[in-house]
Structure 1
Amino acid sequence: MSSAILTASADAVPTPDGDLSPGVAWHYGDPLGEQRAASHGVVVVDRSDRSVIELAGPERLTWLHTISSQHVSALPDRRSAENLSLDLNGRVEDHFVITDINDVTWIDTEQFRGAALADFLTKMVFWAQVTPAARADMAVLTLIGPAARTGAVAELLEIPADADVYAAGDLPERHHDEEPLGFWRVMPPIGEGRTTPVVDVVVPRDDVSAWWTAITGAGARPAGMWAHDALRVAAGRARLGIDTDDRTIPHEADWIGGPDQQGAVHLEKGCYRGQETVSRVANIGRAPRRLVLLHLDGATDTRPATGDPVSVGGRSVGRVGTVIDHYELGPIALALVKRAVPVDADLIAGDPESGTAARIDDDLFVPDDSVPAGRAAQDRLRGRS
């Protein structure tokens, strides 16, 4: 899918071959400067590669609630949430964002899963009053930075200063005789400390260039997916298909929690496919792996690749996800590693003999030494302290 913004800009460098975001800009000539601008000002990123699906019908939310991991049956108008679709074994198949606005629920997800997710939703309709429809005519732009919430850009989009995470609203009319088309939504912050604001703008694809011009005219700097992914990785936020594999369960990717916890799996909702695994891990056991942020040795020109092993003493203990250069942290990566790997372990990312030295970031590492509620109850029944 070609991006109108990429083809219109002579400065845009496209994402590499095989990237999960095909057809959009990787950067505009200064990837580290774009990250710096996102951290201190505001940038706009073309994410029009994402697949968009529309759900129409009076039962769209109650129906979606029964087949996905998030509690969405009572999602208010003009609110968003993150959600998952799991397989029968509780492994993650889809991660997507939903926004309910004006009696329509909008879903957007990674391009490589768009058709499969639309097909799954269609097959699950049965007698419910809901109509899923792929919307190739809609596109996503993403604003990153403190000035996305204040100043000229926020005024342009008419985003209230007090709008919280997952709040959404109509985009303003661009002409007095037009109905508003598209919407904005506030997403969880990214960057170091998870303090850099994020706002998505979902608009008709035919209007992408016009909105891009208006947003950059209001002061946002064009930035590519490099900047978006670098700040996402610094926040320790996983991306489907690169930081996950076919064995990933929600606990491993830090996707547990309702909208209030900025998660994608509500632990107090009804039945859905794969719930047994989620419940068992939450109440009795622990996930076999955990998502960590790795600092890579910057003294070498080599970098590990997504899917490469992470090893300790020649023994594989995990897999590499996103690998990126951050404007302040240098080379960093996300990785799924075995839960028993200590935070101070000397790791090798890539080939165990010639790979890159790596260490786990201890600021994002949360020790998990608590006893799950179900296991504690079992221990009490068995007379164990």
Structure 2
Amino acid sequence: MRYAIVTETYPPEVNGVALTVRGLEEGLRARGHEVAVVRPRQAGEKDSKALHELLVRGAPLPRYPGLRFGFPATRKLAAAWRDSTPDAIYIATEGPLGWSALRAARRLGIPAATGFHTRFDEYMRDYGAAFLQRTALGWMRRFHNRADATLVPTRELADFLRGERFENVFRLPRAVDTSLFDPAKRDPELRRAWGVGDDGLAVIYLGRIAPEKNLQLAVRAFRELQKRQPQARFVWVGDGPSRQKLAQENPDFVFCGVQRGADVARHFASGDLFLFPSRTETFGNVTLEAMASGLPTVAFDYGAAREYLRHGVHGAAIRDGDDEGFVSAAARLGADRELRATMGAAARQAVAMLRPEQVAADFDDALTRLADTRRAYASAASA
């Protein structure tokens, strides 16, 4: 089969959408398919020499340094897809490039699936524009309902979108590479660089350091934990617009910047407790990565935590809005080394059977069904 993937974020950008899209692309290639990728040029990048990549013009995303969006490119996409027509298209992002891809696909009669990766409606609240939440949700509904299917990672999100009149919503589960994210990657030298000994406590946050991640709650939880464990260190892995202010206000925090690949796994495995206070994720890949690394996790009970994290067994899954419960759980786990060890081992076991290869097979099956359905319609129309 010949597939095309359209995305406005892609590695070396580090975020959940970019890494998920690359994983889906690599999974399809491993299954023997031809995959073309359409994405914006990144800063300083010229046209790609890779035959499978089509680069379009883009620009930095306002208030989100390091990320870009693609300009409209309907004509360019239509011309490329006339010359080499995909059997199906996957559109990962709802920006101008994504809309262009939908228009070109509809014009050429190519089946298209979209991915619901980001809760832009909830971002409106975190960036001071809560009055636009319903408008943003309506805009996303119009986008996704123009596709033949919308793929989401959890049952919870699928039910929510159907209730909001999104059509043709299907669940595509996620997985984690347990050979990469593994407690065996624990690095005593890295812990010492953080100022944490073998018996010390390293609390980890890994992700975008930005307003929508609800980071002040993580700070508050750590300070409460620190009352019981004064030598604990809070280690931050990632970057974003809130990093500078956070570092100025908390000079004792350890900031490691953006990490990739094996280095991400090493940082996770070298921690002891993962705090994830975000309420705006569609999934939260980092939850699975932390669990695979043997870290008990404190997170709100939705997304990946709702699907895989069992409260009191793998960490704490806190009811949405219960900030006090989040703080209390972090302090309790921080003070109990034996409980953390038991929960971390259980968390690793809970995700041990997840396989990225199965996600690729399910993704392949979803796109194949769209292609087969479109061919059947075309054949019936011709008859």
So what's the TM-score if we normalise by structure 1?
0.25
Name the structure where strand makes up a greater proportion of residues. Answer: 1
So what's the TM-score if we normalise by structure 2?
0.25
